[in-house]
Structure 1
Amino acid sequence: MIISNALGFLLGLEGVALLRASAGDFPDGAAFAEARLAEIRAMLAADQAEFGEVVELDALDVNTGYRDWSNRYDEEDNPLIAVEQPVVRSILETLPVGKALDAACGTGRHGQYLVKLGHQVVGVDGSAEMLALAQDKMPDARFHLGDINAMPLASAEFDVVVCALALTHLTELESVFREFHRVLKPGGHLVLSDIHVASLYLGGIAGATDAEGRPGHLPASRWLPSHYLQTALPLGLQVRGCVEPRWGGDTGHGGPQARRWCPEAATAAYRDTPAAIVWHFQKG
């Protein structure tokens, strides 16, 4: 069960910052630690109503979450996308042009770039609302409403498969990797991105609301780099690259309450920790 409590989250950021100070990450560690302890005392002494109650959030299915996001997904600034997207695009730019699949395509941000690069693009997603937005952006692309674990596509059809920020929502990786392998041509390229497990432990679990407006959270499996390798390598997918882009400095980490109560701690907790993981595999 996921809980939501602003005070607990802020104290957690302070704790991570203190652990980093204990590890010697800051030149003036003693002063830094004293400042963190002073902020903790101030938060504990404040009116606790400001932070709200401890709330248990229900798990939402992925399609419910993305239905909620669909009307604002492209308008909101997403710091994870800002970190992930340049890395994915830098890989795509090196690949031969051909037929490309954007799996779990969402509103089509990577599909649009594939079109720009000259690829013939197909998109698959489980959210009808997201697919409608992608179709508007790419009228010449072909789209399918479906599950990426069992895609309505021919075998050995694609030169490139991209799947971005989606695998954390799955409870196992074997099925989807078998599908990626199946639809790729021999020699084809698979580019995957996902939220990094370290970011999930820093509060990166996605939240959304259900049809009645009740808050909840999306599934968030904690995949380690070894999980991807243990799944991909036995299928004959060869690793061509792996990048773990990191969070930068002060980019509003932790949200508005963190910026009010503990901005230095929030920046310290996130700075230089892995934000995403991006894989480049090739089918043998």
Structure 2
Amino acid sequence: MASLHSRFVFSSQLYPKPNLLLSKSKANAMLSPTFTFKTTPNCTKQDQSTASSRHFVLVHGLCHGGWVWYKLATLLNGAGHRVSAPDLAACGIHPKKLEEVNTFEEYCEPLMEVMEAVPADEKVVLVGHSNGGLSVSLAMERFPQKISAAVFVSAAMPSITNSFVSITKKLVEDVRKDKKDSKDVSGPRRVFSFGPEDLRTNYYQLCAPEDVTLATMLVRPGKPFFDSSVSRDDFVTAENHGSVSRVYVVCNQGRALPRQTQIWMAEMSPGTETIELDGADNMPMLSVPEELYSHLVDISNRYQ
């Protein structure tokens, strides 16, 4: 168990600066602005485990926590890779209460601490899921030199050509209107909380029953932050965010975030490589963890 913990870091535990062991990377070539789908790489876990060890930083979505990556983290650890899965503020087992988190930047502080601890000459593969794409975008803007590739998994993806405000408007138009038993309390202290039926039918519909049960036990109320720190026009810039290689993973059976909306976000970010996960709902780290694992390792090998 000690060797596992040495590679798998939940940085919610008072956030000590981790002793990061990363693969040194020199190249960070940008892709041409073409939109292509790639099939699952033809490689086995045994083949991948012989590759150089990488560091994956996994960022969860709204109301979730680092726990949501447990299957993917196990696969990555088993192949010798290092994983950091921080709980963002007031998520997972992070000690802050939701009412104590007032801005998007405060919400993202645990991720920023992980990124600050990465040595200047080393890089990580940064992966964001759902609303975690916004947190990943902030990290790209602040630490572009420490990221070999940013991967957006069925995630919100702002870009220099597509602002947060534009994305929000598109999501309001496209995303399902039936939230079932989830609650969205509007107002100055807007709070969202998932209901079990909404999770089961609109997010986890292709996941194992035990994963649905786990989610209903561990999700916490969350805030979709719309303060000036994230909605300003220069939230992402070409110089920083735009210099990082980007990959979008489309989950083609997603109900919460429809396939066409995911594709639209990728297309609105020129130079983004796009991969489609067939048969994946909006929680691919749980519904198709081995397929997602294969793609992430392939990405890590190509973007060094």
| TM-score, length of structure 1 as denominator length | 0.36
Normalized per residue, the structure richer in strand is 1
| TM-score, length of structure 2 as denominator length | 0.34
Relative contact order (C-alpha < 8 Å, sep 6+): which is higher? 2
Normalized per residue, the structure richer in helix is 1
Larger Rg: 1
